[in-house]
């Protein structure tokens, strides 16, 4: 079992079958066994480039909504690694596949993509840091969980690069750090038994909605 924190475990459990629909989606299984078509992977990569730009904006919003310097530092470090490392990696992966950075920038954003990132940003603007973190969690931690599982359990080297990125040590450390940020931010605001607070239900809903939007993102990748 991963060690991404107590809140994540609780939200993940409460999301019921949704979670498995996301982390064991056909798209993921095809990444593992190498059956995913190149066109589906490239469509995904291109949309994910646009996704990461807006996801970075959401993490930066987290800095503006932090109450402690530690919260600020973790959010800022995540923005930094997204903007300078993960996006760069996407540009490189796409270049390998013959997609120029200029193509990425001018790609049309799909509705499933737009819905997801703007939902996360709105969670932050309409609520506090916890609303934002609950909406950010499924992507960050779900990819960590998928990466970890696939690393020890894939039957093709076709998408090795992707699997190593999210299953690798660096990304796993990001997940642990983000999980701690969430647990600490929740404890600071709602105490040590946050499930007793009415807000907990709302946070769980945010987590579930973002998980649904993750499923929609995989669907988009597979759609023609």
| Total residue count of the chain as it appears in this document | 224
The mark string for 187-206 relative to its own copies (x by CB under 8 A, - otherwise) is xxxxx----xxxx--x----
Distance CA(85)–CA(101), nearest Å, equals: 15
Out of 1, 38, 69, 98, name the contact with its own copies by CB under 8 A: 69
How many positions of this chain bind its own copies (CB under 8 A)? 49
Closest to 46 (Cα-Cα) out of 3, 97, 118: 97
Please report whether residue 177 would count as binding its own copies according to CB under 8 A. Answer: no
Place of tokens 């038994």: 193
Taking the complex as a whole, how short is the minimal distance between the CB of residue 74 and its own copies, in angstroms? 10
Distance CA(7)–CA(130), nearest Å, equals: 11
Please report whether residue 118 would count as binding its own copies according to CB under 8 A. Answer: yes
Please report whether residue 111 would count as binding its own copies according to CB under 8 A. Answer: yes
Q: Contact, 67 vs 188, CB < 8 A?
A: yes
Burial class (CB in 10 A: 0-12, 13-18, 19+), 202: middle
Tokens of 60: 């930066």
Please report whether residue 80 would count as binding its own copies according to CB under 8 A. Answer: yes
Taking the complex as a whole, how short is the minimal distance between the CB of residue 127 and its own copies, in angstroms? 5
Phi-psi category of residue 223: left, alpha or beta, with phi > 0 → left and psi -120 to 50 → alpha: beta
Cβ nearer to its own copies, comparing 43 with 90: 90
Taking the complex as a whole, how short is the minimal distance between the CB of residue 44 and its own copies, in angstroms? 17
Out of 122, 151, 183, 222, name the contact with its own copies by CB under 8 A: 122
Please report whether residue 222 would count as binding its own copies according to CB under 8 A. Answer: no
Distance CA(5)–CA(184), nearest Å, equals: 10
Residues that bind its own copies (CB under 8 A): 53, 56-58, 60-67, 69, 72-73, 75-77, 79-80, 83-84, 87, 105, 111-112, 114-115, 118-119, 121-122, 125-128, 131, 187-191, 196-199, 202, 213, 216
């Amino acid at each position: 079992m991963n060690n991404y924190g107590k809140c994540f475990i609780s939200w993940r459990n409460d999301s019921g079958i949704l979670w498995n629909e996301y982390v064991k989606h056909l798209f993921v299984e095809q990444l593992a066994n190498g059956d995913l078509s190149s066109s589906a992977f490239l469509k995904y990569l291109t949309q994910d480039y646009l996704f990461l730009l807006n996801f970075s904006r959401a993490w930066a919003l987290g800095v503006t909504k932090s109450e402690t310097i530690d919260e600020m530092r973790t959010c800022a470090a995540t923005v930094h690694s997204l903007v300078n490392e993960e996006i760069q990696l996407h540009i490189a992966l796409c270049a390998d596949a013959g997609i120029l950075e200029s193509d990425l920038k001018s790609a049309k954003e799909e509705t499933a993509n737009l819905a997801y990132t703007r939902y996360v940003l709105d969670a932050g603007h309409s609520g506090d840091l916890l609303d934002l973190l609950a909406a950010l969690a499924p992507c960050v931690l779900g990819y960590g969980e998928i990466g970890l599982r696939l690393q020890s359990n894939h039957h093709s080297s076709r998408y090795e690069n992707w699997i190593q990125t999210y299953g690798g040590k660096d990304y796993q450390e990001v997940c642990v750090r983000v999980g701690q940020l969430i647990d600490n931010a929740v404890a600071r605001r709602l105490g040590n038994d946050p499930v007793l607070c009415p807000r907990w239900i709302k946070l769980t809903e945010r987590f579930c909605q973002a998980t649904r939007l993750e499923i929609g993102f995989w669907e988009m990748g597979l759609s023609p």
